[in-house]
């Protein structure tokens, strides 16, 4: 009798466990409704503008952050690809098709594919970067630094490096 009661209790417990875990559902939980996912917003186009600075008119992003070129880059190919370089000199990654603000020529703007597959914005063939040490819009703390194997310069609105040496 004890064995029969024990066996019946065990069977009932397994039945409840199986029912609680589901068994024939589609994997989505209650009602087999698919999970709610949020839509990915379309990328906002990256805009390059010009700004007046103590170095003359320079290229900035839409938030006024100064943009730099790296003399060690070869053509439109970025050579700043190591983790350390990218942390200090983050590339300007294209969000949608890059655009220019007033006073700049759209035909000077382009992109290049980085080693990681991202599209980096170029101006007159130069890949563009930020400097992590710039603490506010208009800051040009990276100007003229010899770092990561080459010189870094703020970019004039004609695409040439600002050389204030």
Q: pLDDT by residue (tens digit) across 54-74?
A: 999 999 999 999 999 999 999
Percent of the chain whose pLDDT exceeds 90: 69
DSSP string, 47-102: EEEEEEETTEEEEEETT--B-EEETT-BTTB----SHHHHHHS-B-B-SSS-EE-T
pLDDT of residue 103: 93
pLDDT of residue 50: 96
CB half-sphere exposure, 82, CA atoms < 13 A = 6
Q: How confident is the model at residue 27 (pLDDT cuts 50, 70, 90)?
A: very low
Average pLDDT over residues 119-143: 97
Residue 28 has pLDDT above 90, yes or no: no
Closest CA to 102 of 40, 152, 60, 41: 60
d(CA 13, CA 144): 74
pTM greater than the 0.75 cutoff: no
Average pLDDT over residues 122-136: 97
CB half-sphere exposure, 159, CA atoms < 13 A = 16
Asked if residues 111 and 122 have their Cβ atoms less than 8 Å apart, the reply is yes
pLDDT of residue 154: 98
pLDDT of residue 43: 54
Residue 144 has pLDDT above 80, yes or no: yes
Residue 135 has pLDDT above 50, yes or no: yes
> What is the number of other CB atoms lying within 10 angstroms of the CB of residue 132?
13
Q: How confident is the model at residue 25 (pLDDT cuts 50, 70, 90)?
A: very low
Tens-digit pLDDT profile for residues 77-120: 999 999 999 999 999 999 889 999 999 999 999 999 999 999 99
d(CA 51, CA 102): 11
Helix (H, G, I), strand (E, B) or coil at 35: coil
Which residue would you say has higher pLDDT here, 17 or 76? 76
Residue 131 has pLDDT above 50, yes or no: yes
The DSSP bridge pattern shows strands 126-127 and 119-123 to be: antiparallel
């Amino acid at each position: 009798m004890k064995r029969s009661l024990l066996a019946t209790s065990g069977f009932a417990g397994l039945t409840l466990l199986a029912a609680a875990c589901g068994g024939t559902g589609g994997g989505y939980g209650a009602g087999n409704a698919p999970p709610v996912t949020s839509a990915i917003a379309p990328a906002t186009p990256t805009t390059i503008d010009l700004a007046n600075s103590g170095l003359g008119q320079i290229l900035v992003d839409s938030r006024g952050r100064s943009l730099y070129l790296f003399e060690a880059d070869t053509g439109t190919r970025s050579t700043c690809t190591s983790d350390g370089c990218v942390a200090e000199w983050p590339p300007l990654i294209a969000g949608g098709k890059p655009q220019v603000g007033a006073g700049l020529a759209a035909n000077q703007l382009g992109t290049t594919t980085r080693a990681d597959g991202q599209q980096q914005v170029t101006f007159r063939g130069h890949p563009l970067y930020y400097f992590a040490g710039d603490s506010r819009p208009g800051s040009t703390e990276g100007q003229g630094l010899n770092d990561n194997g080459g010189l870094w310069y703020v970019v004039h609105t004609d695409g040439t490096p600002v050389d204030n040496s």
